[in-house]
Amino acid sequence: MCGIVGYVGGREAAGVILDGLGRLEYRGYDSAGLAVKGFGSDGKLRAVKRAGKLSVLRDAVAAGLPAGCVGLGHTRWATHGRPNDVNAHPHLSEDGRLAVIHNGIIENYVELREELAGRGHVFVSETDTEVLVHLMEEAYEATSHDLATAVRACLARVSGAYALVVAHAEHDALVAARNTSPLVIGLGSQENYLASDVPALLPYTRDVIYLLDGDVAELGRDGVVITNLQGVPQARETNRVEWDAEAAEKGGYEHYMLKEIYEQPTVLQNTLFGRFTHGGLDVELGLDLDPTTIDRVVITAAGTASYAGEVGRTLLRRLARLDTVVEVASEFRYSEPVVDERTLCIVVSQSGETIDTLEAMREAKRRGARTLAILNAKGSSISREADDVLYIHAGPEIGVASTKAYLGMVAAFALLSFWFARERGYMDDDAAREYVRALRELPGQVERVLQVREHVAQIAEQIKGARSSLFLGRGINAATALEGALKLKEISYVHAEAYPMGEMKHGPIALVDRDLPVVAVATNSPLYDKTVSNLQEVRARDGRLVVVADEDDTKIGQHAEFVIPVPRTLELLSPVVNVVPLQLLAYEVARALGRDIDQPRNLAKSVTVE
């Protein structure tokens, strides 16, 4: 969730950049930097970068802004490499004449780094971004100093997500490129701008061009040229931004929650990609943990994070054959937990500040357990005390109802259980290949699920009057039902209860009548036939069935009033795609009821009291 600002024109670039980066503050960050050059100069770029908040960078240049009318700046939300001065962007070439800022993840950076180091390139940072600098430096020489061609040549070698901007001491222009991560050009008179988000541009211009995937743009003072990766010119329309600053922060979405739901493909890329090694057969999580020292796992967390833990439990049990339990954090500390030095206590938290979760982790530590935290926010209390931390890189989550953090947490468990499975010898190479292939498909699949929003809105219109509802799922998707019910309760204030589907006949089925919406997950699983029988039991009692099903399941429609199709994936990864329509359903019901979606009553984003 890095922030990007670029400028070419008649003003002092550093001032524009610092101002623009400040307007992207809501994205959160852990370091910042900029590089500028004067027109016509062919000396070095003047670069300053600092770990910490933007104010640290501002202080560093307080004595005098680096002069120059071409520049780029960046606020970093660390994914690869710690948040320190060296890992901050921009990254400069070895001769100091080329600077790159980047948002996204270069997936094949490990191989590229080895290749470049083999040719004598010296790496100074721990980032994936730095491979871009060295590749461009080589390409720049090979293309007779044609910067845009050098950028295209570099990108031909790269796989992954990026929004990047490049400056070179010999050029009075910036070159930018986009694949997956957003990038927008701001058009001025005798000046042009770049930004990862519209708010950075609003004080200067409202005429913008949204770059599309595969675009490479050259920005001079007098104009902009856009080509594709092959250098073929592309026509892009100019849009007029009508948003005010607050709407712009939401990226034009009506609510932060909706924006965050739509950010989920990017979150999955951030969490999953750039970590695979050995041709995708293994994963590098950067943990100090020795898997041979662990016999048992206890997962503890609160609310949505605990439901991600429920998914994690099934993954760890089924993939890695690890004895795993989940305990709600508020109870854990008082339950005389049975943990010892061969227990791994995994705590899960978006904020890293939830007091129940923090205290549960402390209790586990007191009893000798090793601790691992799956977290979003950096520098939080939990991050400082856990033995190991696995970050989900979801970026700041502002909506009180957690959505993108949940998906990131589930994705982190998908990686962690894969790592344990491989380390413990429970997954052979063929199974690993299939699993990683399915993981790689998830961002695109979630992108497709997001297209069901209109259909889900129509269902919401039909069920919004219900006073109560039931959410059902089996196996690993029992957790999906729990999370779907919690989302509906939190933001619509409609009562919702979740049950493992097989339990329905032991009591809750008494609730079923024609007024009760029953939301069920029925995607592929060894229990699919039993699931269909359970659906028929609801149908036979006139329950209003809303079923999440594989899009190629042609028969499920006969058992349901409404079907929400989702792309088929492995059963164990299906919670990732299945939860998205339930987030949208909760959102649309709450919207139809006129609720305060981003700040629902009685709730706080981070609960720091017991």
Catalytic residue among 2, 69, 154, 345: 2
Q: Least separation, in Å, of the C-beta of 606 and ligand M6R? A: 5
Q: Are 477 and 523 in contact (CB under 8 A)?
A: yes
Cβ proximity to ligand M6R: between 91 and 591 the closer is 591
Looking from the CA of 526 toward its CB, the CA atoms found within 13 Å total 3
Q: Least separation, in Å, of the C-beta of 193 and ligand M6R? A: 35
Looking from the CA of 560 toward its CB, the CA atoms found within 13 Å total 24
Catalytic residue among 44, 53, 378, 605: 605
Cβ proximity to ligand M6R: between 271 and 354 the closer is 354
169 CB-near residues (< 8 Å, 6+ apart): 37, 41, 42, 43, 44, 45, 96, 97, 98
Residues 156, 161, 163, CA angle at the centre, nearest 5°? 90
Q: What CA–CA distance (Å, rounded) separates 133 from 62?
A: 28
Q: Least separation, in Å, of the C-beta of 265 and ligand M6R? A: 20
Q: Does 351 bind ligand M6R (CB under 6 A)?
A: yes
Cβ proximity to ligand M6R: between 13 and 579 the closer is 579
Number of amino acids touching ligand M6R (CB under 6 A): 16
Select the residue interacting with ligand M6R from 34, 169, 401, 476 (CB under 6 A).
401
Cβ proximity to ligand M6R: between 189 and 608 the closer is 608
Q: Does 330 bind ligand M6R (CB under 6 A)?
A: no
Burial of 425 (0-12, 13-18, 19+ CB in 10 A): exposed
Q: What CA–CA distance (Å, rounded) separates 548 from 568?
A: 11
Q: Does 304 bind ligand M6R (CB under 6 A)?
A: yes
The residue range among 165-173, 302-310, 319-327, 431-439 that interacts with ligand M6R, by the rule CB under 6 A, is: 302-310
Q: What CA–CA distance (Å, rounded) separates 188 from 10?
A: 11
Q: Does 344 bind ligand M6R (CB under 6 A)?
A: no
- For residue 69, indicate whether it is catalytic: no
Cβ proximity to ligand M6R: between 86 and 607 the closer is 607
Select the residue interacting with ligand M6R from 314, 357, 531, 569 (CB under 6 A).
357
Q: Are 38 and 170 in contact (CB under 8 A)?
A: no
Cβ proximity to ligand M6R: between 136 and 414 the closer is 414
Closest CA to 512 of 556, 474, 465, 470: 470
Q: Does 35 bind ligand M6R (CB under 6 A)?
A: no
419 CB-near residues (< 8 Å, 6+ apart): 282, 283, 285, 287, 291
Select the residue interacting with ligand M6R from 79, 350, 445, 469 (CB under 6 A).
350
Select the residue interacting with ligand M6R from 135, 187, 298, 400 (CB under 6 A).
400
Q: What CA–CA distance (Å, rounded) separates 71 from 68?
A: 7
Cα 61 to Cα 2, 36, 58, 194, distances in angstroms:
21, 12, 5, 22
Give the CA-trace dihedral at 377, 380, 382, 385, to 10 degrees.
Answer: 130
Q: Does 314 bind ligand M6R (CB under 6 A)?
A: no
Q: Least separation, in Å, of the C-beta of 608 and ligand M6R? A: 10
Task: Output the CA torsion sign for 286, 288, 290, 296.
Answer: negative
What's CA 322's distance to the chain center, in Å? 27
Q: Does 518 bind ligand M6R (CB under 6 A)?
A: no
Looking from the CA of 89 toward its CB, the CA atoms found within 13 Å total 34
Q: Are 388 and 397 in contact (CB under 8 A)?
A: no
Cβ proximity to ligand M6R: between 384 and 530 the closer is 384
The residue range among 158-166, 398-406, 421-429, 569-577 that interacts with ligand M6R, by the rule CB under 6 A, is: 398-406
Cα 445 to Cα 406, 527, 556, 570, distances in angstroms:
16, 23, 20, 12
Residues 222-251 as x/- pattern, contact with ligand M6R by CB under 6 A: ------------------------------
Q: Which of residues 463-492 bind ligand M6R (CB under 6 A)?
A: 490
Q: Does 54 bind ligand M6R (CB under 6 A)?
A: no
Phi, psi of 210 (to 5 degrees): -85, 120
Q: Does 582 bind ligand M6R (CB under 6 A)?
A: no
Q: Least separation, in Å, of the C-beta of 262 and ligand M6R? A: 17
- For residue 154, indicate whether it is catalytic: no
The residue range among 137-145, 411-419, 465-473, 601-609 that interacts with ligand M6R, by the rule CB under 6 A, is: 601-609
The residue range among 174-182, 346-354, 443-451, 469-477 that interacts with ligand M6R, by the rule CB under 6 A, is: 346-354
3-state secondary structure 266-334: HHHHHHHCCCEEHHHCEECCCCCCCHHHCCEEEEEECHHHHHHHHHHHHHHHHHHCCEEEEEEHHHHCC
Q: Does 583 bind ligand M6R (CB under 6 A)?
A: no
Question: In the complex, which residue's CB is closest to ligand M6R?
Answer: 303
Select the residue interacting with ligand M6R from 354, 525, 531, 583 (CB under 6 A).
354
Q: Least separation, in Å, of the C-beta of 562 and ligand M6R? A: 24
Q: Are 265 and 444 in contact (CB under 8 A)?
A: yes
Select the residue interacting with ligand M6R from 402, 480, 492, 569 (CB under 6 A).
402
Q: Are 481 and 519 in contact (CB under 8 A)?
A: yes
DSSP state at residue 245:
H
Q: Least separation, in Å, of the C-beta of 404 and ligand M6R? A: 11
Q: Least separation, in Å, of the C-beta of 255 and ligand M6R? A: 14
Q: Are 91 and 125 in contact (CB under 8 A)?
A: yes
Cα 135 to Cα 46, 93, 108, distances in angstroms:
21, 10, 13
Q: Least separation, in Å, of the C-beta of 525 and ligand M6R? A: 26
**Site of interaction with ligand M6R (CB under 6 A):** 302-305, 349-351, 354, 357, 400-402, 490, 603, 606-607
> What amino acid positions are annotated as catalytic residues?
2, 605
